[in-house]
Amino acid sequence: MTELLEILNSSQNILPEWILIIGILFLVVIVSFQKDGSKWPYRFSFLLVLSYTFSASYYYENLPNEGIKLFGDLLLLDKTSLFFKQLVALSTIVFLIHSRLFKYKFDGEIYFLVLCILLGLSILAMTTHFLVIYVSIELVSISSYVLVATKNDKKNFEAAIKYLIFGAVSSAIMLYGISLFYGIGHTLNFTDSVFLKSIATNSALIIQIISFLFLAGLFFKIAAAPFQSWVPDVYEVTSTPIISFLSFAPKAVGVLVVARVVQANFVDLNTVLLLIIIISLIVGNLAALWQTNLKRMLGYSGIAQAGFILIGVLKGPQTDFYGAFFYILTYLPITMGAFFLADILKKQAGSDEMEDFKGIGQKNIFLGLNAVIIMMALVGLPPTVGFMAKLMVFSSIINLGEDMHSSAYYGLLIFGLLNASISIYYYLKVPYFMLIKKSYNQPRYNPDFFLTVVLSYFSIALVVFFFYPDYGTEWVRKVLF
Amino acid sequence: MQSGLLSSLIILPLIASIVILLLPESYKGSYRWIALIVQILLLINTGTFIGGFEANHTGYQFLEHFEWIRLTLGKTSILSIDYIVGIDGLSLSMVALSVIVFFVANISSFSINKKEKAYYSLFLLLSASVIGCFIAVDFFLFFIFFEFMLLPMYFLIGIWGGPNKAYASLKFIIYTLVGSVMILVVMIALAMSNVDEFFTSEYKRTVFSFDFRILSDQANLLNGSLLNIENPIKIFGVYARDFMFILLFIGFGIKLPMVPFHTWLPDAHVEAPTPISVILAGILLKIGGYGLIRIAFGFFPDVAVNYGLLISIIGLISILYGGFNALAQKDLKKLIAYSSISHMGFVLLGIGAFNVEGFNGAIFQMFSHGLLSSMLFLIAGVLYERTKNREIQNFKGLAKIMPIFTVMVAIAFFGSLGLPSLSGFIGEFFTLFGSFQATTIPKVIPILGVLGIVLSAIYLLWTFQKMFFGEFWTKEDFKNNLEDLNQKEIIMLGILGVLTLLFGIFPNILFDLVNHTVIQFF
């Protein structure tokens, strides 16, 4: 009886997910009864995500700081998870608006899959339970594979198969890690005191290795090296709004789960994370240098950015993941703005090749200006919020170096910053071709003024939040563990 | 007192830049005049500052202070970033130099007739960020201006530059960005170690500050923090404070530029259009010297003492290396670029001496080099504009047909090689004097430094003789294009020439301004 009450009680607290689940079922019905090209799936999804967002914000007020446990200890609803749920929902809204503005004719199934990812991430954001983590990651992954494969193109199939194989391997590794943890820890929740006690009796090295196995699935979602090889192909062939969503949402929540593992403090992950960060920065930055395709370049840049975000997750005595969470908050407008820009450029130039952007910015200086701002934010130059994000992350390393008395962190600091300055080479290619190179051809497309105005919302946000970061920082401060 | 007058030095060009961006293309002719009017206003404003400046008053004057960002860092601390601007003798002299250089560069820009709208708005943006750099009294604010300068420069070289502009502008931006991330590291570390006592007691949370006045007072260093003087933490085998000082030294050294981080400079100069070369040599390099004095020496005086010798040696290497390279150049602009490296080496020599004479000399040398190198690049521009050629060997006997030009060139060349009564002499004299005075530096360094003056005499006189004396002769058919200076050029070169003479004869005008500020460092 008490269990039944517990379930009932818990169910009240996941109202947003219920809305989403029921809505998704409805969506299936709508999709099957509507003609192809109907606008109703889009409209319905939009409504659904909005109601999800509002119902999620409703819980902020009455939540205790340590959060509440639901369904035994399967789920943990705290402010941090609400914050990430809202971010993911926000990125879904941006996805929907993006696809609408560019008149993408998505089938209803696409919206269904995106909402499934939203559901998966939403559950992933509020759990410390290995099995729930695994199940929700699978929900996200499988939906993503299908999303990538939906376009009827040979290249798409290739990318989707790559994505599937790498994904399957990393989730198998992850499952292996989980089973080892279960064997050692006797329970599946890594915040459980039983788990922590049993883990403590084992040698640290073994736990580190197992943790690395477990984290493989998450690093795959975050697109951190060495689990990154699917990124460029998938980024190149997938429709821009979809990849814009995929470049942000799974990455954000993946980092949250890594942060939760680090916070649980049963294993010293810093060495593993340091390696992952350094490899990600090297692979992402060096490969991005040679790209000629904007979307591929953004893919590699996403790998490098994952490295920067993970810096904020390193554990020290004072760590509160402030830098990482703030970085993720700013990463939403930065990366999604960049993909929005990529879509405008594709529309005008006819391709994603940066060579073809020649002269576009000269004909439309306003668009050129927006491109400069967005790329500056990706590099992390002032006056854009990208600089603030890097500042936070790097100041967290300085704190860390101070507390841990280790030169390695200062090495990482300088290495990271040098990487940031190398990155200017490939990010500036976009404004370089747009503004500096002359175009040989006549304009192929009339500058789309309306889309540029929408794009400038992103870039205005990036500049305004540089001058007034308090809104963002106060929000993040409230949701720290 | 918050008159807003000092901020107008930043805000006026910013507003003008936006106005130019928004003006329709049919007002094309007015862009240059808007920019020029703004530069004249800045000149007048700076004049009032010089007039109202109390030279024997230490500390910053005309302060304007607004709260800007209170960044909550985690749960226990706040990062306080303020908009503070103010000037002391050091920054006033640099602001004065930058308004002069920008004014001259603006006139020189009249010959730009490609995409004027973008050019003048970027030009004004650059002007705002350069001056902002000099008057910022908050490290964060300084850094923003410092970084922000890169983009206008990137586009100004990249769009209006010569044939190899893409390479040069990219090299410029990557070198400088590497330098500035090093400064960023120090900025974060400094801020995380310095506490604003007043606000800490007010907010009941640790308030870290970027305020120059707080950073320069070591009493504010938080106990046990990274940069605390007693802190035994070593980073890669050197003490944390030493490590940070070295980072700053490299960061600003790239900007200065010192050997071996100088290779971006000749490339950037050769490709940049004349007015941008003028700004680059005249004022952008000075930010490196300014940063070294204000930040590296101002905030780490205890460390800087130990590095005087190293800095002097690098300064000496820059002087000699730049000089010898200049000897070998065939391109006039490249020769001037290398002579810039050589002359900025004197600044390092003066700073490395770490005494009042050395610092005074370094500041004077920066000021004088600002005037002289602007002149030199304008001179190269005059030839290039007429003939599209800068090879020294292609010209001979120019004095015959361009007499006024020859006079100007003579002033600039003799000023640069350190003829007494021109400003170059004073700067070089005082830096060498300071270096001789310094007990930590072996006398051989300033003695070899004197060799730099000899070198500059050799390459400048050689060039002067080859190009201006003898029978008139030029390669190909430049003859018809070679006319003497027009009014515009006479104004530009004349202003700079007169100033060079003025500061050469009355160096006290500058020394009186900066002396009290410099004494504060010791």
Alpha-carbon distance A244 to nearest alpha carbon in chain B (angstroms)? 27
pLDDT at B231 over 80: no
CB-CB under 8 Å, B181 with A420: yes
**Percentage of chain A exceeding pLDDT 70:** 98
CB-CB under 8 Å, B184 with A421: no
**Percentage of chain B exceeding pLDDT 70:** 99
**Percentage of chain A exceeding pLDDT 90:** 52
**Span A211-254, pLDDT tens digits:** 999 999 999 999 998 888 899 999 999 999 999 999 999 999 99
CB-CB under 8 Å, B236 with A411: yes
> Concatenated DSSP letters for B43-80?
HHHHHHHHHH--TT--S-EEEEEEEEEEEEETTTEEEE
CB-CB under 8 Å, A473 with B71: yes
CB-CB under 8 Å, B234 with A474: no
Q: Mean pLDDT lowest for which of A15-19, A256-260, B386-390, B477-481?
A: B477-481
Which residue of chain B is at minimal alpha-carbon distance from A468? Answer: B69
- Could you give the dihedral angle defined by the CA atoms of residues B274, B275, B280 and B281, in that order, rounded to the nearest 10 degrees? 70
Chain B CB contacts of A372 under 8 Å are: 151
- Tell whether B74 lies on the interface with A, counting CB pairs under 8 A: yes
CB-CB under 8 Å, A382 with B144: yes
**Span A59-70, pLDDT tens digits:** 777 788 888 888
Chain A CB contacts of B68 under 8 Å are: 467
- Tell whether B324 lies on the interface with A, counting CB pairs under 8 A: no
Question: From the candidates B120, B140, B180, B188, which should be mutated to test the interface with A, based on the most A CB atoms within 10 A?
Answer: B188
Alpha-carbon distance B405 to nearest alpha carbon in chain A (angstroms)? 34
C-alpha angle A154/A160/A161, rounded to 5°?
90
What was the pLDDT predicted at B75?
67
In chain B, count of helices (H) and strands (E)? Answer: 22, 7
pLDDT at A444 over 60: no
Whole-angstrom CA distances from A177 to A133, A211, A221, A254, A314 are 12, 7, 16, 16, 21
**Percentage of chain B exceeding pLDDT 90:** 54
Chain A CB contacts of B139 under 8 Å are: none
pLDDT at A113 over 90: yes
| Mean pLDDT, residues B332-355 taken together | 92
φ and ψ at residue B62, rounded to 5 degrees: 55, 35
**Span B82-130, pLDDT tens digits:** 899 999 889 999 999 999 999 999 999 998 888 888 899 999 999 999 9
Alpha-carbon distance A259 to nearest alpha carbon in chain B (angstroms)? 15
SS3 (DSSP) at A173: helix
Which residue of chain B is at minimal alpha-carbon distance from A477? Answer: B74
What was the pLDDT predicted at B120?
93
| Mean pLDDT, residues A107-118 taken together | 92
Of chain B residues 439-468, which have a CB less than 8 A from chain A? none
- Tell whether B181 lies on the interface with A, counting CB pairs under 8 A: yes
Q: Which amino acid is at B3?
A: S
CB-CB under 8 Å, A398 with B74: no
φ and ψ at residue A432, rounded to 5 degrees: -60, -50
Q: Where does the pLDDT of residue A439 fall: very low under 50, low under 70, confident under 90, or very high at 90 and above?
A: confident
CB-CB under 8 Å, B189 with A398: yes
Encoded tokens for B216:
């320069």
Distance of CA A428 to the CA centre of its chain: 23
Which residue of chain A is at minimal alpha-carbon distance from B167? Answer: A425
Q: Which amino acid is at B514?
A: V
pLDDT at A180 over 90: yes
Alpha-carbon distance A448 to nearest alpha carbon in chain B (angstroms)? 19
Chain A contacts to B (CB-CB under 8 A):
318, 320, 322, 362, 365, 372, 376, 381-383, 387-388, 391-392, 394-395, 398-399, 401-402, 405, 407, 410-411, 413-414, 417-418, 420-422, 424-425, 428, 432, 435-436, 467-470, 473-474, 477, 480
Distance of CA A430 to the CA centre of its chain: 23
Q: Whole domain around residue B270: which residue ranges? A: 5-520
pLDDT at B80 over 90: no
Cα torsion A423, A424, A428, A429: sign:
negative
Of chain B residues 112-131, which have a CB less than 8 A from chain A? 115, 117-118
Alpha-carbon distance B181 to nearest alpha carbon in chain A (angstroms)? 6
pLDDT at B228 over 90: no
What was the pLDDT predicted at A440?
67
Length of chain A equals: 481
- With b for 16 or more beta-carbon neighbours within 10 A and e for fewer, the B28-38 pattern comes to eeebbebbbeb
Q: Where does the pLDDT of residue A51 fall: very low under 50, low under 70, confident under 90, or very high at 90 and above?
A: very high
Chain A CB contacts of B159 under 8 Å are: 435-436
Encoded tokens for B145:
């201006």
DSSP letter assigned to residue B397: -
Residues 6+ apart with CB under 8 A from B201: none
> Concatenated DSSP letters for B487-504?
HHHHHHHHHHHHHHHHHH
Whole-angstrom CA distances from A424 to A427, B130, B479 are 5, 21, 45
pLDDT at A176 over 90: yes
Q: Tell whether omega for the bond before B275 is within 30 degrees of 0, i.e. cis.
A: no
- Tell whether B70 lies on the interface with A, counting CB pairs under 8 A: yes
**In the block, residue with structure tokens 């003006």:** B23
Mean pLDDT over each residue of chain B, to the nearest integer: 89
What was the pLDDT predicted at A441?
63
Which residue of chain B is at minimal alpha-carbon distance from A325? Answer: B74
What was the pLDDT predicted at A284?
93
What was the pLDDT predicted at B438?
87
Of B126, B125, B133, B104, the C-alpha closest to B43 is B104
Do the beta carbons of residue B187 and residue B164 sit within 8 Å?
no
CA B24/CA B312 separation, integer angstroms: 53
Would you tell me how many other CB atoms lie within 10 Å of the CB of residue B175? 21
- Tell whether B519 lies on the interface with A, counting CB pairs under 8 A: no
What was the pLDDT predicted at A481?
72
Which residue of chain B is at minimal alpha-carbon distance from A478? Answer: B75
Q: How many domains does chain B have?
A: 1
pLDDT at A269 over 70: yes
CB-CB under 8 Å, B150 with A381: yes
CB-CB under 8 Å, A474 with B174: no
What was the pLDDT predicted at B197?
81
Of B459, B473, B454, B462, the C-alpha closest to B397 is B473
Alpha-carbon distance B166 to nearest alpha carbon in chain A (angstroms)? 9
- With b for 16 or more beta-carbon neighbours within 10 A and e for fewer, the B407-416 pattern comes to ebbebbbbbb
Pairing label, strands B234-235, A75-77: unpaired
- With b for 16 or more beta-carbon neighbours within 10 A and e for fewer, the B420-453 pattern comes to eebbbbbbbbbbbbbbbebeebeeebbeebeebb
**Span B7-48, pLDDT tens digits:** 999 999 999 999 998 888 888 888 999 999 999 999 999 999
CB-CB under 8 Å, B75 with A477: yes
Chain B CB contacts of A410 under 8 Å are: 235-236, 243
| Mean pLDDT, residues A433-450 taken together | 72
CA B127/CA A472 separation, integer angstroms: 31
Chain B CB contacts of A417 under 8 Å are: 181-182, 184-185
- Tell whether B143 lies on the interface with A, counting CB pairs under 8 A: yes
- Tell whether B18 lies on the interface with A, counting CB pairs under 8 A: no
Instruction: For residue B185, give the nearest of A320, A413, A467 by CB distance.
Output: A413
What was the pLDDT predicted at B74?
64
What was the pLDDT predicted at A442?
58
CA B102/CA B117 separation, integer angstroms: 17
